[in-house]
A and B are shown apart, each in its own frame.
Chain A
Amino acid sequence: MQFSGRIRKKLRLAGDQRNACYPHSLQFYLQPPSENISLIEFENLAVDRLKLLKTIENLGVSYVKGTEQYQSKLEAEIRKLKFSYRENLEDEYEPRRRDHISHFILRLAYCQSEDLRRWFIQQEMDLLRFRFSILPKDKVQNFLKDSHLHFEAISDEEKTLREQDIMASSPSLSGVKWESESVYKIPFADALDLFRGRKVYLEDGLAYVPLKDIVAIILNEFRATLSKALALTARSLPAVQSDERLQPLLNHLSHSYTGQDYSTQKNPGKISLDQIDSFDKGYSYNIRHSFGKEGKRTDYTPFSCMKIILTNPPSQGDYHGCPFRHSDTDLLKQKMQSYKIPASGINQILDLVKGTHYQVACQKYFEMTHNVDDCGFSLNHPNQFFVESQRILTGGKDIKKESSQPETPQPKPSVQKSRDASAALASLNSSLEMELEGLEEYFST
């Protein structure tokens, strides 16, 4: 991508050529864009896509993916930001172009660390899943053809010939009308997760995959491809970052995901100055009050698990509470799945939650995420979780003692990323932590 120093007019292509560039309402982003754009457009596209991805993240936390509310809210947001999502009567070229370019710009910002990559990939996958889910059947085949995967719809004769076998193999077809289902054949190795569990019919090296199962394969493929691409991008990043016009924007974009790094004095860039004013007005009083620097000057001790579970449950607009006590089980399950906790562990945790053993559930969660058989302690305080976690993560070295007497966070050594600052803050009163997370909502309007 070339970045020009002056504002350039957008290239005006003839109608046919424009459609040929972007034949579908969604894509796999296999080819980077090759036009010139202005810095202003560069920045706007990036910010818009970031808004979209953050909306996707929030919706994924608040609603079960795929439900009507999730789908309609997501569609509204995409439409508002003028990105492509389904075929309309109007000219599709501009939304698709915006979608294409903005994706590649964000790659630059989000390739830099494992955490950033993971977040970016997750939201982009959810976006692709949504777009694919609203793709009309007749458009599916064309879209698949243009991807680099070797899907091929089978003819009705082929389908009839194998009806018994395919029905007997694919769980996703149970209770479904055979006639209305499309079946695709792909090389068996491209359907690993299906064939290893014998959940698909194999014949002569080809897997006969119903449309429902195709989505899972596509998403897997997308994740693998994007992951590789991000790793490659990271390697060529120094060249991009040396461009002074881009450096502050890319830094700001990547920080928007993890939250501001409160521990060091950095210049976060132009946009953040405005944000700091609002931050000061809206939040700093509360924070100072909690630390005993305002009003009654009482340094409030953070709540224990028992207190959090039994008293002051969160309601609309609140962000505190115990995730195991106060989350909807579906959302809790979804969240743990996104944290890659194995299914057996998730089931155990959910069973404990059902039996109201919230602290034991949290202990189990601790064990799963820290890869230990026995957490070795009896959990009764959120700060204790943090301390024990640090003990494992730092190999038993200096344990950060921020338990019951929180002080203003100390400046961290330079190597620590903004993530660690958030972790340090997690040791404070959980209601305070949740209020700080509300900052993201605050800035995203």
Chain B
Amino acid sequence: MEAFDPAELPELLKLYYRRLFPYAPYYRWLNYGGVTKNYFQHREFSFTLKDDIYIRYQSFSNQSELEKEMQKMNPYKIDIGAVYSHRPSQHSTVKLGAFQAQEKELVFDIDMTDYDDVRRCCSSADICSKCWTLMTMAIRIIDRALKEDFGFKHRLWVYSGRRGVHCWVCDESVRKLSSAVRSGIVEYLSLVKGGQDVKKKVHLSEKLHPFVRKSINIIRKYFEDYALIGQDILENKENWDKILALVPETIHDELQRGFQRLHSSSQRWEYLRKVISTPQNMKNDKCGPWLEWEIMVQYCFPRLDINVSKGINHLLKSPFSVHPKTGRISVPIDFQKVDQFNPFTVPTISAICQELDVVSTNDKDKQEHEAESESKHRVRDYKKTSLAPYVKVFEQFLENLDKSRKGELLKKSDLQKDF
């Protein structure tokens, strides 16, 4: 398989936007069944072109216009913004103050760089299979809360293309939520507080809110493999000192002695759990079982960027956009198989373009090229590449949205006795 070369992007993107980008399902998503007039037409897109030229307030009348523009502009990056009160492309003609962002999906952005203080294997834009578990835990914890606590039904998780994941919550009522409520949701989901200058970022008590309790139970499933074995957080003095900084000084000596005696992070962790719960140590009321949870949370719990989620007009990278540095496609993640998701096997644009070439040289397809229209042709094109399973996940998501919508319309028409 050909490695991705950023220099080839212009050519690759041309092919991608002509033959592979899944316009039909994409339009089906953002049109939301055409229930609200002009919903798609008032949506803002932004394009980043070659040489970092950035253009905002792009909007389109229909799927066909969207396709033509994308093929013409060949954007390196596509972002999706809000649904506005008027067509974004005409915003400069609107009376001052009248052009307002009205609705948008609730979105979350989880970025691996925000965990640099607690992962030993990588830093900054790098990721590896060891630290990817942080994303797995984040997805499980956030998704459970969005579904079970908030009752949100339509949640799409997307790989960002490099070092993180995004979540798009698309329920009709959610798209209408105010900025204040969005902020409130992020606050509800936040446990890790403080920047570089704060050593201890998590404070819990014996009494746990169900959200916290359930999140810790999820972390427990991964903690041994991820933290004790993979990250080896108690491997040596340099590393266990970081953990000591999170517990009261009164137990430091006892812990150090035990750590030196023992041989693995797993053993040391068990020992720590014992020490913090002895009646003797718990005479200090800063000492108790919550210390264990605080460490687990600080090392494993999701870190959200509130600015991404709270603004209704915030622009976020579009699913099926290409990452210009890695060449990877921002693909939907199958939540049912989240533990098996591997960012390193996500197709790159060069890979799928190559797959397309292989497909085209096949005789059978040559015949069918003449007979069918371009778009139908495209439907089969991506189906023959590694992009197919990801589009399938996307289409399943759209099916669920459709079902919900039909259910709602039926309810409404029943109420209006509209048979």
Contacts and interface: CB of A to CB of B under 8 A. Distances in A.
Contact of B149 (A189, A196, A197, A203): A203
B187 A165 contact: no
Contact of A169 (B148, B151, B210): B210
A195 B150 CA distance: 10
Given A168-B210, A168-B213, A198-B209, A206 B151 contact: yes
Interface stretch (B176-184, B272-280, B397-405): B176-184
Contacts of B188: 195-196, 198, 202
Contact of B187 (A168, A197, A203, A205): A197
B139 interface: no
Interface string A162-197: 000100110000000000000000001100100111
A196 B309 CA distance: 14
Contacts of B187: 196-197
Contacts of A169: 209-210
What is the interface residue range for chain A against chain B?
Answer: 10 to 19
B207 interface: yes
A198 B212 contact: yes
Given A192-B180, A192-B181, A192-B184, A198 B211 contact: yes
Interface in B171-223: 177, 180-181, 183-185, 187-188, 207-213
A168 B209 contact: yes
A204 B151 contact: yes
Nearest to A193: B184
A186 to B, nearest CB: 13
Given A202-B149, A204-B148, A196 B211 contact: no
Contacts of A168: 207-210, 213
Contacts of B152: 205
A203 B148 contact: yes
A201 to B, nearest CB: 6
Contacts of A189: 177, 181
Interface string B37-71: 00000000000000000000000000000000000
B210 to A, nearest CB: 5
B151 A165 contact: no
B96 to A, nearest CB: 19
A192 to B, nearest CB: 5
A28 to B, nearest CB: 21
For A195, A197, A203, the residue with the greatest tally of chain B CB atoms inside 10 Å of its CB is A195
A197 B190 CA distance: 10
Interface in A101-159: none
B191 to A, nearest CB: 9
Contacts of B183: 196
Nearest to B187: A196
Contacts of A165: 210
A232 B79 CA distance: 38
Interface string B137-173: 0000000000011111000000000000000000000
Contacts of A206: 151
Nearest to B145: A202
Nearest to B171: A205
A198 B184 CA distance: 10
Contacts of A195: 184, 188
A222 B241 CA distance: 52
A201 B210 contact: yes
Contacts of B210: 165, 168-169, 201
A281 B185 CA distance: 61
Nearest to A166: B210
B317 to A, nearest CB: 27
Contact of B151 (A196, A197, A201, A205): A205
Nearest to A167: B207
Nearest to A202: B149
A227 B147 CA distance: 34
Interface in A291-306: none
A169 B211 CA distance: 9
A203 B146 CA distance: 10
A364 to B, nearest CB: 24
Interface in A183-237: 188-189, 192, 195-198, 201-206
Contacts of A198: 188, 209, 211-212
Contacts of A204: 148-149, 151
A205 B150 contact: yes
Contacts of B213: 168
Nearest to B147: A204
Contacts of B212: 198
A95 to B, nearest CB: 37
Given A169-B210, A192-B184, A198-B212, 12 more contacts: A168-B213, A188-B150, A188-B151, A189-B177, A189-B181, A192-B181, A195-B184, A196-B184, A196-B187, A202-B149, A203-B151, A204-B148
What are the 10 A-B residue pairs with the smallest beta carbon separation, nearest first? A205-B151, A196-B184, A202-B149, A204-B151, A196-B187, A198-B209, A165-B210, A192-B184, A189-B181, A169-B209
20 contacts: A165-B210, A168-B208, A168-B213, A169-B209, A192-B180, A192-B181, A192-B184, A195-B184, A196-B184, A197-B187, A198-B188, A198-B209, A198-B211, A202-B149, A202-B150, A202-B211, A204-B148, A204-B151, A205-B151, A205-B152
Interface of A: 165, 168-169, 188-189, 192, 195-198, 201-206
